[in-house]
Chain A
Amino acid sequence: MTTTEAPDLLHRILDYSSRSDPYPLYAELRETPVALQEDGSYVISTYREIAGILHNPHLSSDVRNLSRPMPGAEERATPSFINLDPPEHDRLRRLAMRHFGPPHTPGLVSGMAPDLTNIVSSLIDDFAGKEQIDIVDDFAYPFPVTVICHLLGVPREDEPRFRVWVNAIIDSINYDPKTDPKEKLDNGVQATKDLRQYLGGLLEQRHGHPGDDLLTRFANDDGPDGRMTDEEIISTANLLLIAGHETTVNLITNGMLTLLRHPQVLQRLRDEPDLVVPLVEELLRYEPPVHIIPWRAAYSDITVADTVIPKGSQIMLMLASGSRDPDRFGDPDRFDPDRQDNQHLGFGSGIHLCFGGPMARLETQIALTELVRRLEGPRLVADPPPYRPSPVLRGPIHLPIEQS
């Protein structure tokens, strides 16, 4: 496993024309598990190498540990825990998790199942009379947005406002100074400021007022780690708001697309609703919502597959490629909901393992179960459907379907 330069290949993957099917290019990429790029960064694409490095304490998520700073990094505000290392990462994640999952808040996610089912049912009710349904705009987008707004304590009616900011932020995630206009980056930086200011306004009203939403609970918490500062709460809320719906939209949409491409699996799901649990895991492997971790930093020299990645290097992790690695998964390009030992990289791994994973799972399980139960003879209008621009958070921008 040697390092070779394959810059063209990465650019082809990131290019929009590959969006509907990047998997053959991933297979090509995996021939060089650790690939040094022209700009000095490294791309890792095989399962064991990705899993290994995600558990490697020498890998940093803090942009300050890159020897060459990323464009726009200095303009971004207080990082959220996704962009921090221990011990700060651990403290902030702990402070957030206290109000979201076990051991301090067990049962929150599972307790939301009835509400989730109601939201899904009413969205599907609204399909009535439509000739064409857009699974994205009519379903997969409004559903998780409603859920995360409720959970965080963000007014649902503000969605049109924050949607603009979120889109600009997502657009700027994989900003490439060589190919993208500077405007794309500036828009992202400005949108981050606007969104923070908006969340700050909501937070101000929560201090001293009891309530069940996360913003209120963060603002009034006095646990063993103390309380998050307002800056930290805003960064955390910012992260949860964006990550809490952007990825789930893609997971649900990718799920419906995959089921429509595999009608026999769709029929099985109708007949055996319990199949949805392993099916969503397989979906996270086969068509995950997050394809790439765009950057991590080598805090010290890291050896991966006999390649020494020098301290300060930028490292890109191709999660979706790792989950299709034939050295780890038999027949990896087959969608098989009965797959055993399915330790996919759909939620990443290690200390940054997806915070909202349990919520995304439940949302998608309920969404797909109800869609296949209630849609009659659904079929794709276009295959492939049109995709969003991002190669990182990958999914269709629209998924029009018709019923019989």
Chain B
Amino acid sequence: MREVHSNGTKKGINIHARRGLAYIVLAIISILCLFWFLLLFINTTRSHSELNQGFSIVPSKYLFSNIRKLVKMGERLPILTGLLNSLIVAGLSAVLSTYFSVMTAYAIHAYDFKLKKFMFTFILMIMMIPTQVSALGFLQLVSGMKLENSFIPLIVPSIAAPVTFFYMKQYMESSLPLSLIEAARIDGSGEFRTFNSIVMPLMKPAIAVQAIFTFVSSWNNYFTPALILHDPKKRTIPILIAQLRSMDWSNLDTGVVYAMIALSIFPVIIVYLILSKHIVQGVAMGSVKG
């Protein structure tokens, strides 16, 4: 492909023009992506009266005062309990989902049994079915089990995560040689021990990627938690956002509103920026492609 230049300077100029155009468009699109978060950050540092004066791109010095005011709202908007609740639900979901998805993928990958092909096809088929369509029955089940206002119905179902399973299965095909498991058997290692002490460590990169995805999607989940958690002490961040939205805005400090949004968005952004390389690679790998 490098030979393009030898075709003459005309084509060379053409390439430069196209590259220039690509950079300009990419720069515009990047600005469009980041603009909102920049504005959010700037507005979180400005006070209520400054915000009322209108648009500005100059950060001010009220960041910590806004956060302090938000925390002081206490019962009206229990942000600290909300953060803790979200952290518990998302963290435990990520742990359970990755561990058991590796286990399910391992069952299909390493063993030969009659229902193997059926199970694999079945899991792929249910992968796309949205949780919302069975939410009604789920809600009845949860209230029947007296698990309303409990985190269990938000955490335990993540054990059966078809998308995470599929990713783990793909990863195993490329980097879990069956000969290794054979070798462990010859050394007298039990199947369960082999799984925990050989398979799990080898799957670390895949587990890291999927743990982040599960954590983020659980952290962001609004639909199901809103149906199950009614106790103000049990609410997660997205429910608090909805609560904030339905408050009386005439006597609400706008700086506090921005601080609340910032606290729900920026933790994820920071983690993402640290790990972005793996995440972007993970998206491409997890896609169902030929």
* A and B: interacting chains: no
